[in-house]
């Protein structure tokens, strides 16, 4: 019986989408997602991608200092 509950909990956890804790977290997550284009994850050495990664790193450093 315990195995059935464990499997059911794992299936339920995999079906529920992960949501941020509050609206502020969600807006920060959405803004960071748009900062670097998707193709930069596959082609990180393109000149535009290098600039995007540097800008992302600078933004992360300023967030950490706050």
Per DSSP, the residues of 12-45 read: HHHHSPP--SSHHHHHHHHHHHHHS-GGGGT-TT
Residues 15, 3 contacting (CB under 8 angstroms): no
Task: Give 5-64 pLDDT, tens digit per residue.
Answer: 788 777 776 766 665 555 565 556 555 555 788 888 888 888 998 898 888 888 888 878
User: Is this structure's pTM higher than 0.85?
Assistant: no
């Amino acid at each position: 019986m315990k195995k059935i509950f464990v499997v059911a909990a794992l299936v339920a956890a995999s079906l529920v989408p992960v949501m941020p804790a509050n609206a502020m977290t969600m807006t920060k997550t959405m803004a960071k997602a748009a900062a670097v284009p998707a193709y930069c994850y596959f082609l990180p050495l393109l000149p535009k991608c290098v600039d995007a990664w540097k800008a992302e790193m600078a933004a992360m450093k300023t967030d950490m200092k706050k």
